């Protein structure tokens, strides 16, 4: 993983001291809240429903044991003993005191972490495939390019006050695990016929009030032109983005109103203007950054195959965990392990300080000291020998981290919702907990198969409900919480936006509605191999509407 150089250390330390002064002036009353707000947001500090919240960047979802241990320490010392991992591969602390935030940032800086640009109208944390550097279907590791984008975008003088927040995602695999088509810019690493690395470039995706799928505006961008082309996109957006209306300020609206062809023409014109400038990436710089992400030297561990077979035969729980939470690695003797932060009946994405400490220990012992955070709010150990899976599993069991549900109905994405967020209209957490409890039996989950439920407490869609196979949006209607259901969404390489199925459901009726949808799917699928999404795309919404609403006309909430 990337290591700070002398400039990085000085830069982050200076920002911490600058913010310390700003906090001091705010607490003394010298700085009013209106003046302080943009300053704290650029350092990841929000004012939520009950308290301040600090959002810490985990660039492209990669960290090591020492860094995870520091996150645990912060949760223990400055918060209430837990942190919440988000769909942007960040971690949020929900209860820090404003006076403590400079000290927290200083502790983060000591392990090469920060909270810069985790909020505000700037380029946010660049996200990537959580299996990057380990996945068997990978063309190239996307993280070096994500790091290049991070360095370029940090406190960029031209792009720190954009019309609206801006999100970039990068994937380097055939399977899109980074949801690049619902980002402002999505980059798909690929090779051309000559074997050269480049990017397919997507622009204008996003969820929220107006969910849209990104448009591909360039099929192959040479890697040397990465910053030049992204700068061209950003300049077009910065110039023409709607600053008069925050609901129409995202680049997706610019693409929609301008048209894909015209926007691409403007980007190409700006790109031509910038060609050959200092933004062109030298080969030496690309190689230098890429060297930080060299794959670990993984020794052959062929004994793991026989051991794994024996362990699975003797322990049904272990076998279920391996089948569901361990994916094939580039190296045949290794696997990529998902540590689910979705215990049955638990809060999606939350991890205690004790659990974070344990994950740090396990990463150092079993996973070459590498940890990833997925946008699905889980933790990944990307390089684990098959021969180490059994002792790793036993250690996870001791911490309550052995839930075998990756990709199943209880692996729910949920935003903090009305329990924490000042913007939310409805609670996400209790709904997720009830659904998880209802469907928690391993046999029931296995029968249903792959099914992604995603829950947002407001239209901002932090829970990615638009791309859930089943999406839940909490809305307020006549002073009460109501949940709108969408079906058929997906955030993979075949991205789709879910369709509103009908009128919303009261909180007490949501889980029953989900069960009706699931039972309808089980009754109409062609075989156990036909997952929910495929079945829905085959039959459409009508069977589900009929099951939910009977003969009554379905009304959108």
Residue that the structure tokens 């082309």 belong to = 229
Residues in the chain: 557
- H or E segment to which residue 512 belongs: helix 507-524
E-assigned strand segments in 57-120: 62-63, 82-85, 91-93
The verdict on domain 1-121 having CATH code 3.30.1050 is no
Mean pLDDT within 406-426 = 97
Task: With CA atoms as reference, report the closest residue to 389 among 295, 341, 293, 324.
Answer: 324
Kindly report the CATH number that applies to the domain delimited by 413-555: 3.30.413.10
Looking at residue 178, its pLDDT comes to 98
Q: Which residues of 337-359 are buried (b: 16+ CB within 10 A; e: fewer)?
A: bbbbbbbbebbbbbbbbebbbbb
Domain ranges of the chain: 1-121, 302-398, 413-555
Q: Is the pLDDT of residue 552 over 90?
A: no
Q: How confident is the model at residue 207 (pLDDT cuts 50, 70, 90)?
A: very high
Please check the confidence at residue 555 and state whether its pLDDT lies above 50: no
Nearest-angstrom CA–CA distance, 63 and 370: 6
For residues 321 and 341, what is the distance between their CA atoms, to the nearest angstrom?
14
The answer to whether the beta carbons of residues 104 and 360 sit under 8 Å apart is: no
Percent helix, strand and coil across the chain, each to the nearest 5: 40, 20, 40
110-133 mean pLDDT? 97
The CATH code of domain 302-398 reads 3.90.480.20
pLDDT for res 267: 98
User: What's the confidence (pLDDT) of residue 423?
Assistant: 94
In 3D space, the residue among 58, 64, 62 whose CA is nearest the CA of residue 93 turns out to be: 58
- Structure confidence by residue, pLDDT tens digits, 347-382: 999 999 999 999 999 999 999 999 999 999 999 999
Name which of 219, 218, 243 is nearest 232 in CA terms.
Answer: 218
For residue 48, what pLDDT is reported? 94
Between CA 40 and CA 324 the distance in angstroms is 41
Summarize pLDDT for 297-307 with one digit per residue, the tens.
Answer: 999 999 999 99
Average pLDDT over residues 514-522: 98
Q: Residue 554: its pLDDT value, please? A: 44
State yes or no: pLDDT of 270 exceeds 50: yes
Predicted confidence (pLDDT) at residue 420 exceeds the cutoff of 50? yes
With bands split at pLDDT 50, 70 and 90, how would you rate the model's confidence at 551? Answer: low
Check residue 556 and give its pLDDT. Answer: 47
**pLDDT digits 0-9 by tens, 139-192:** 999 999 999 999 999 999 999 999 999 999 999 999 999 999 999 999 999 999
């Amino acid at each position: 993983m990337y290591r700070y150089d002398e400039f990085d250390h000085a830069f982050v330390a200076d920002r911490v001291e600058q913010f310390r002064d700003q906090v001091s002036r705010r607490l003394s009353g010298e700085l009013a809240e209106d003046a302080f707000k943009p300053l704290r947001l650029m350092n990841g500090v929000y004012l939520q429903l009950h308290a301040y919240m600090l959002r810490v960047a985990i660039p492209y979802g990669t960290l090591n044991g020492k860094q995870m241990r520091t996150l645990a320490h912060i949760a223990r010392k400055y918060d209430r003993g837990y942190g919440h991992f988000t769909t942007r591969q960040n971690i949020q602390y929900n209860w820090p005191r404003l006076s403590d935030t400079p000290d927290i940032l200083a502790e983060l800086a000591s392990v090469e972490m920060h909270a810069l640009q985790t909020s505000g109208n700037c380029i946010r944390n660049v996200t990537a495939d959580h299996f990057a550097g380990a996945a068997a279907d990978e063309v190239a590791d996307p993280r070096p390019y994500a790091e290049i984008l991070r360095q370029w975008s940090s406190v960029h003088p031209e792009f720190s006050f954009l019309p609206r927040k801006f999100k970039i995602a990068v994937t380097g695999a055939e399977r899109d695990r980074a949801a690049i088509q619902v980002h402002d810019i999505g980059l798909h690493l690929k090779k051309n016929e000559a074997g050269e690395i480049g990017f397919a470039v997507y622009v204008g995706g996003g969820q929220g009030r107006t969910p849209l799928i990104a448009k591909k505006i360039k099929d192959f961008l040479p890697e040397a032109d990465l910053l030049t082309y992204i700068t061209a996109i950003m300049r077009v957006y910065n110039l023409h983005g709607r600053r008069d209306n925050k609901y129409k300020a995202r680049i997706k609206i610019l693409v929609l109103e301008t048209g894909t062809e015209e926007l691409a023409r403007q980007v190409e014109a700006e790109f031509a203007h910038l060609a050959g400038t200092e933004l062109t990436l030298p080969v030496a710089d690309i190689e230098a950054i890429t060297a930080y992400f060299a794959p670990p030297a993984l020794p052959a561990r062929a004994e793991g195959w026989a051991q794994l077979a024996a362990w699975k035969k003797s322990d049904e729980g272990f076998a279920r965990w391996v089948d569901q939470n361990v994916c094939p690695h580039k190296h045949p003797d290794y696997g990529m392990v998902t540590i689910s932060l979705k215990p049955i009946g638990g809060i999606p994405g939350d991890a205690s300080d004790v659990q974070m400490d344990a994950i740090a220990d396990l990463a150092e012992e079993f996973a070459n000291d590498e940890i990833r955070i997925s946008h699905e709010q889980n933790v990944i150990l990307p390089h684990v020998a098959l021969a180490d899976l059994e002792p790793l599993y036993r250690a996870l069991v001791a911490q309550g981290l052995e839930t075998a549900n990756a990709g199943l109905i209880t692996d729910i994405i949920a935003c903090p919702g009305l329990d924490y967020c000042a913007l939310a209209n409805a609670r996400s957490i209790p709904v997720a907990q009830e659904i998880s409890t209802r469907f928690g039996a391993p046999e029931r989950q296995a029968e249903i198969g792959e099914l992604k439920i995603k829950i947002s407490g407001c239209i901002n869609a932090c829970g990615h409900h638009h791309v859930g196979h089943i999406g839940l949006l909490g809305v307020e209607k006549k002073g009460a919480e109501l949940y709108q259901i969408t079906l058929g969404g997906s955030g993979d390489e075949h991205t789709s936006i879910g369709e509103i199925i009908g009128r919303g459901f009261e909180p007490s009726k949501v889980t029953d509605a989900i069960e009706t949808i699931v039972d309808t799917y089980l009754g109409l699928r062609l075989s156990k191999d036909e997952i929910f999404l495929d079945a829905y795309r085959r039959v459409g919404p009508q069977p589900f509407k009929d099951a939910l609403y009977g003969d009554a006309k379905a009304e959108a909430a």
